[in-house]
């Protein structure tokens, strides 16, 4: 049971780590890898996709080394990172950017809010003056915008 809790705790903490990494690393010294994601060109692959590998490495190492040494709390950390990576892939690549066409339309309020927040993030084409660096937690101002849109449609 403790290993499940560690996995879930790491999953939750990863949202903060993602925010910090996105704000200060991807929009900082590794902007050259992230830039093409904001200035979309032709083709399916982006240099930004390298971050999948970068984030997968600590997960893989925790799972592999934890298993080899029977340190299952370390395996749980790796599993939490991997679980967040899967959620990130689902939300960012499939739901938001629709690089794989599975969920092209949704009336779900949460999905509309994360799409709007991400759209506001991408309105900035350069690394400066960004906003909305998280992925799964949506700021109140984006929820409010979705509610305002719903009220306008109801009128």
pLDDT for residue 70 is more than 90: yes
In this structure, is the dihedral angle defined by the CA atoms of residues 58, 64, 67 and 69, taken in order, positive or negative?
Answer: negative
How far CA 113 is from CA of 23, 37, 46, 146, in Å, comes to 20, 20, 25, 6
pLDDT at 123: 85
pLDDT at 59: 98
pTM beyond 0.85: the answer is yes
pLDDT digits (tens, 9 = 90+) for 127-155: 887 888 888 999 999 999 999 988 888 77
Span 76-113, pLDDT tens digits: 999 999 999 999 999 998 988 888 888 777 888 999 99
* Cβ proximity of 60 and 67 under 8 Å: no
């Amino acid at each position: 049971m403790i290993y499940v809790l560690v996995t879930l705790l790491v999953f939750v903490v990863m949202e903060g780590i993602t925010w910090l990494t996105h704000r200060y690393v991807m929009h900082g010294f590794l902007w050259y890898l992230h830039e093409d994601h904001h200035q979309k060109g032709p083709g399916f692959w982006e240099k930004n996709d390298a971050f999948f590998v970068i984030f997968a490495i600590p997960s893989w190492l925790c799972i592999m080394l934890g298993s080899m040494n029977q340190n299952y709390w370390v395996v749980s950390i790796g599993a939490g990172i991997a679980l967040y990576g899967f959620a990130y892939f689902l939300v960012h690549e499939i739901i938001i950017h629709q690089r794989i066409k599975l969920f092209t339309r949704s009336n779900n309020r949460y999905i509309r809010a994360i799409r709007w927040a991400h759209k506001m993030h991408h309105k900035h084409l350069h690394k400066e003056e960004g906003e909305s660096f998280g992925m799964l937690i949506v700021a109140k101002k984006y929820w409010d915008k979705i509610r305002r849109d719903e009220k306008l449609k109801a009128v």
